[in-house]
Amino acid sequence: MEIIHTIARLKESLQKLRGAGKTIGLVPTMGALHAGHAALVTLCTSENDVCVVSLFVNPTQFNNKEDLRRYPRTWEEDCLLLEKIGADVLFAPSVEEMYPEPDTRVFDFGLLDKVMEGRYRPGHFNGVAQVVSKLFAFTEPDNAYFGEKDFQQLAIVRAMVKQLKMPVQIVGVPIVREAGGLALSSRNRLLTEPQKADAAHIYRVLRESIEKIEIASPDKLTDWVIDQIHKVPSLQVEYFEIVDGDSLQLVASWDDSGYVVGCITVFCGDVRLIDNIRYK
């Protein structure tokens, strides 16, 4: 695996590979890699000649400086994992390399970034669009891979690609879960073992909620999910919304859309966890 720290070197290396007719896949990450990331990389290596993984903790998508400071950083473990699963190139730039000057671009995603995560993390998705658009410009991938756990982020990236007319195929990859059902996340490293056991309750409730869509409206089911999760004292729901999977707008009836997803954010102690489940 080739480890690259500069944009110029990345472009030079990929230009040679592209010139040789190789297809290029990209997996953008912020490190602290786990089996969910491994699933992205494995799919990328199977569908492309060259798999590039970026590792960059992007400061512009953190509206909370303490959250940025606490974000797990596990460089040596990450390199070992990527070597093991067959990544070809690791692009790990510095903040100064990615942002030699402030990125003042402001993206307009309509209502997509005003709901759910966007309501509670102002500026977050603009920062995501800034860094992902830079990575796409530097890498020029044929395909780019994102986990479906970050459901709203996936919608934002797809909208950005359409807006900027970038010739890259965005591939969503299903959520990978721990044995107890907790969605894998780099933030899970911040949980104690008892907290992990409590957090597994989130997915249990979401899974059980699927059985109730025949007898409960989206509003009633929303209330039920929140009440059930709050039965575990360490869990506090920030939001749970049942939305159209494309527009991310609330649905009032199950007949409002053929693609309905429940998206949730829950604090377990001071660790913020996200998850989602598809209803139809």
173/151 Cα distance (integer angstroms): 10
DSSP calls for 204-257: HHHHHHGGGTTTS-HHHHHHHHHHHHTTSTTEEEEEEEEEETTT--B-SSGGG-
Q: What mean pLDDT, rounded, does the chain reach?
A: 96
- Output the CA angle 234-237-238, nearest 5 degrees: 130
Residue 124 falls in the annotated catalytic set: no
Pairing of the two strands 169-173 and 235-244: unpaired
- Residue 66: which pLDDT band, with cuts at 50, 70 and 90? confident
**What pLDDT does 65 receive?**
85
Instruction: Report the candidate in 181, 158, 183, 164 with the shortest Cα–Cα distance to residue 273.
Output: 183
Stretch(es) of the chain classified as CATH 3.40.50.620:
2-173
CA atoms within 13 A on the CB side of 180: 12
Residue 256 clears pLDDT 90, i.e. is over it:
yes
Q: Which of 37, 124, 201, 230 is catalytic?
A: 37
Q: What is the pLDDT of residue 203?
A: 98
In whole angstroms, give the CA distance from residue 250 to residue 272.
22
6 has a pLDDT exceeding 90: yes
Which residues in the chain are classed under CATH 3.30.1300.10?
A: 186-278
Percent of the chain with pLDDT over 70: 100
Q: Does domain 186-278 have CATH number 3.30.1300.10?
A: yes
DSSP state of 175: P
Residue 3: what pLDDT?
Answer: 98
Q: What is the largest CA-CA distance in the chain?
A: 58
Tokens, residue 40: 């992205």
Please report which confidence band the pLDDT of residue 63 belongs to, taking 50, 70 and 90 as the band edges: confident
**Residue 100 reports pLDDT greater than 90:** yes
* pLDDT score of 23: 98
The model's pTM: 0.94
- Report d(CA 79, CA 65) in Å as an integer: 26
- CA–CA distance, 94 with 89 (Å, rounded to integer): 16
Q: Do the Cβ atoms of 260 and 151 come closer than 8 Å? A: no
Fold assignment, 2-173: Rossmann fold (3.40.50)
Per-residue pLDDT tens over the stretch 11-54: 999 999 999 999 999 999 999 999 999 999 999 999 999 999 99
- Residue-level pLDDT at 89: 98
pLDDT on residue 67: 86
Tell me which long-range contacts 15-20 makes (C-beta under 8 A, separation of at least 24): 17/49, 17/50, 18/140
Q: Would you state the structure tokens that stand for residue 128, as one six-digit string?
A: 């995501």
Give the N- to C-terminal CA distance of the chain in Å, as an integer.
41
Q: Is the pLDDT of residue 171 over 90?
A: yes
User: For 181-226, what is each residue's pLDDT tens digit?
Assistant: 999 999 999 999 999 999 999 999 999 999 999 999 999 999 999 9
Query: SS3 of 161, please?
Result: helix
